[in-house]
Chains A and B, each alone.
Chain A
Amino acid sequence: MDHAAAPHPDGGLAAALDDIRGSERALCVTAWVTLPERPGEYADFPSWLDPRIVKVLRARGIERLYRHQAEALEAVREGRDIVVVTPTASGKTLCYNLPVLQATVSDPATRSLYLFPTKALAQDQMDEVHDFITALGLDLKTFTYDGDTPPAARRAVRAAGHIVVTNPDMLHTGILPHHTKWVKLFENLSYVVIDEIHNYRGVFGSHVANVIRRLHRIAEFYGSRPVFICCSATIANPLELASTLTGRKMVLVDKNGAPSGPRHFIFYNPPVVNRELGIRRSAVLEASRLAQTFLRRGVPTIVFARSRVTTEVLLSYIKEALGEPAGREPEGRPSRVRGYRGGYLPSQRREIERGLRDGSVQGVVSTNALELGIDIGTLEAAVITGYPGTVASTWQQAGRVGRRTGESAACLVATSRPLDQFIVTNPEYFLGQSPEHGLIDPDNPQIRSLHLKCAAFELPFVDGEHFGDEERTPTSRLLGRLEAAGFVRHVGGRWHWSADAFPAESISLRTADADNFVIIDTTDPQPRVIGEVDRFSAPMLIHEGAIYLHEGRQYHVDRLDWEEQKAYCHEVDSDYYTDANFAVEVKVLSVELGPGGPAEDAGSGPGPARTRTAEGGLPRYLGEVSVTAVPTIYKKIKFHTHENIGWGRVNLPEQTLHTEAVWFTLPPEVTSGLASEEVQAGLVGLGTLMANVAPLFLMCDSRDIRAFTEVRSPFTRLPTVYLYDRYPGGIGLARRLYDLSAAVYRAALRLVEACACSEGCPSCVGPAAEVGPAKPATARFLEAALREDETP
């Protein structure tokens, strides 16, 4: 181990970077980019800022504002809606806290609503505002209002909260449908703060935009017109996203005035350990070594892992190497290196966040849960284990470190996945890539209808009232459909909610089911809950026989009670961990539209090939499918060597998603003359490409649709590409894709032809290493699709 060369346990970041440069690991660095130091740009406190607020700021060592903060303050004071886009640690929260506090101090009747994407962020922000208010010494009340708020406290929050901190889901189900209990808030609502708006992309974002439309209606009913203050991480189109999300014209504040020290971005490819097979050393082991190098030099470090299991494995390696207590922690000696991920209990997470801020925790291993703006103080080094999948997310993780002065470093450690290998061997591709777009479509017919129901429940619609884009579909027509279905009743010039159901309750803004499985440790006579796992992850993490890792400790899962959603486990000391496999299958349930339009007989498989030329393109279908994910086996993987030392079966019910899909088949004349590997590569390439391009046309996020390919589909008996909505019942994306397929083919073909790569890259058909050289076959399929498409 090369840290033996460093006699001093300290030495800081510069010494740690020298350790890397001076060891054999320097050979693994494929690029080392240093972003230069940036001086700060400042502005004085505006003269109108309350002296009490100025005093608190001064007491915290803030003598003046950054330029973007001052700009934000002035714009909000003029009553304009703004979106602030600056990196983490640029003092973004003051951009909304100062205007809100100023207004509340001058008029205590002022009410504000803060929306955060997660409960953890809401809690974090609540603490920050609360500290500020305490320092002001004023009687202003700030509360979080979410699923964790005890019923007894809710009345007080509703009546007395000057600042109510919540999430869009709670606004949707808990606040808007009960607005009469929130009269004080809505009558005086002056500011709505929406932080981390880059999270509200795709279908989730389209839902949230409709929740905001409902908020506008209710605010207007009570006579208020709040100013919107939005914040976003770096994305390609923050102004557009914020405007569509809030339905307001926004002012963009993006000239970052915060200074930053020099930042290193290191691309790291683990060494090849088997030249014949091209096998590289595990990214987890390399990330662990790099993290140790930083931590031994006393550098506060965050390590990002792509999964919960990796998080725990990395944590145990790092703790063990640094001689930190593993297993049960002795009293009075909490570990300086901690894990952080979904599934830890909220109190445990708060404790770790506090530890990071006050320095008692020096290293943290986290999933992307810490990618968001939770305040974890100033860290200096980030080790990113595996490419996070998007440019924006990578910068966001790298941005968790960085100081106003002095150096910081982020190190991206590639796994052997083709996408990672592409990024690490083509760093200029990553550096030249603009961050992703945040795309939403609030006028998606299904999403808009769902929220129209919620809105009608909240307040009857008056004739002539608009909800969304009138040109796409008039609101009155949508209401008419709801009346025909028995949901509303049109009488006396108003549309009244007339069903006995509570609509918001059955409409989830997110894909994920909210229900959790709890994990119960039965080691001691008094069993205790140690963590939780969401329904989707349960088959992977807590099946019987699994080694469940929690904060570096190991638990053997003895029994999983699927009905009761409980897993019983006991603490063990094992030399392996487990990793479960899934098999995914798409089954066609019914065909609604075939190549020539409505399918005559849903059960008869593909329509006659002859109809294709009438409609054009590759034969395409729209219908209902079931996507099943079946946990099959789990592998036992030895710590450190990562050898596979055994396996077991997972006996759990399959998870089924019934949804809508569009699928395309390749008829024999399109594939003739191609070897089966070429067909396979081209098919996968076509799927990847369509899934990459389609979101631009559907205004959704790449998470919202999935591609699935079969070289010989049991249903169509031909090579087939399926694209399905990742939402139960479908959300209309596949349906729209069915109509737009020619435009998507054209864009896809342009992309393949224009892409400078030779055999395939993540921007087009996928990395060649993953699918084989797919480009020529994919291009051929697309040309065939378009040629026929253009035949009259």
Chain B
Amino acid sequence: MNRPLPSPDAPEGRAGACDPAAAGTVPSLQEVLPGRRLETPAGPCYHVRWEHPLCFRYGAAPLKEALTVSGRTLAVLGRDESLEEVTLARACFMDTETTGLAGGTGTYVFLVGVGWFEGDLFVVDQYFMEDYDREPSLSPPSRRTSEGSRQW
């Protein structure tokens, strides 16, 4: 029943959750996550590439097992007949991380990951939104990759 309301008269200039400088010395993004700034027509974003051998295991199965999954299995699991034509070796995988799960327009995508099989590697490109005004920069690279020669 009691839902405290934030006071609009809260003292100003208090160290906020979004003010890393106030929390002391913060390492640069480069130090934490080796990558590079990527210039896109919609502004810069931070790009990291990972290359995993197919024996790489994160969880129960090694990556290479994905290559044995048939289109039929995908169609059944995904309840979509069109998936029967899909070969995962030529597929492009994509995932996003967002600032909230409730949906709605105030939720930002801050990380886009795109992965594909290439020779004996699984390559993952990650595009990170460095600040709130950089969100548009995440869409062109992800679009470029997903609209390339690969399926989808």
Query: How many residues of chain A are within 8 Å of chain B by beta carbon?
Result: 48
Q: Would you call A489 an interface residue if the criterion is a C-beta within 8 Å of the partner chain's C-beta atoms?
A: yes
- Of B31-39, B86-94, B100-108, the segment with at least 4 beta carbons within 8 Å of chain A is B100-108
B106 touches A502 (CB 8 A): yes
**Complex Cα spacing A446 to B9, Å:** 9
Q: What is the CA–CA distance of A760 and B23 in the complex, to the nearest angstrom?
A: 62
Decide: B131 and A177 in contact? CB cutoff 8 A: no
Distance, CA A136 to CA B93, complexed state (A): 51
Question: Chain A residue with minimal CB distance to B101?
Answer: A500
Q: Is B17 an interface residue (CB 8 A)?
A: yes
**A456-B12 contact, Cβ under 8 Å, with A486-B18, A491-B131:** no
Set of chain B residues within 8 Å of A353, measured between Cβ atoms: none
Q: Which of B5, B8, B105 is close to A457, meaning CB atoms less than 8 Å apart? A: B105
- B152 contacts the other chain (CB 8 A): no
- Closest A residue to B100 by CB, please name it: A500
Tell me how far the C-beta of B99 lies from the nearest C-beta in chain A, rounded to whole angstroms. 6
CB-based contact B106/A492 at 8 Å: no
Asked if B5 and A731 sit within 8 Å, CB to CB, the answer is yes
Which residue of chain B lies nearest to A459 when distances are taken between CB atoms in the complex?
B105
Query: What CA separation (Å) do A494 and B104 show in the bound complex?
Result: 19
* Partner pick for B8 among A449, A493, A513, CB 8 A cutoff: A449
A655 at interface (Cβ–Cβ under 8 A)? yes
Which residues of B sit under 8 angstroms from A657, Cβ to Cβ? 1-2
Query: Closest residue to A727 on the B side, CB-wise?
Result: B5
Contacts of B104 in A (CB 8 A): 177-178, 457-458, 502, 504
Residues B50-106 near A (CB distance < 8 A): 99-106
What is the predominant secondary structure among interface residues of chain B facing chain A? Answer: loop
Shortest C-beta distance, A503 to chain B (Å), equals 8
A485–B2 Cα gap in the complex (Å)?
20
Q: For the complex, give the distance between the alpha carbons of A674 and B106 in Å.
A: 61
* CB of A180 within 8 Å of the partner chain: yes
CB-contacts of A440-465 with B (<8 A):
445-446, 448-450, 456-460
Complex Cα gap A460–B99 (Å) = 15
Q: Once bound together, how far apart are the Cα atoms of A492 and B10, in whole Å? A: 25
B101-131, CB < 8 A from A: 101-106, 108, 131
A30 to B40, CA, bound (A): 82
- Given contacts A483-B18, A484-B14, A500-B100, whether A179 and B6 have CB atoms under 8 Å apart is no
* Bound: A210/B12 CA distance, A: 24
Q: Is A498 an interface residue (CB 8 A)?
A: yes
Contact, CB under 8 Å: B12 / A729: no
Which A residues are closer than 8 A to B by beta carbons? 177-180, 445-446, 448-450, 456-460, 473, 477-478, 480-481, 483-486, 489, 491-494, 496-506, 513, 655-658, 728-731
Beyond the given pairs A481-B8, A484-B16, 20 more chain A to chain B contacts, judged by CB atoms under 8 angstroms and listed by A's residue number, are A178-B105, A179-B105, A445-B8, A446-B5, A449-B8, A450-B5, A456-B106, A458-B106, A483-B18, A484-B12, A484-B13, A485-B16, A486-B16, A496-B133, A502-B102, A502-B103, A503-B106, A655-B1, A656-B2, A729-B3
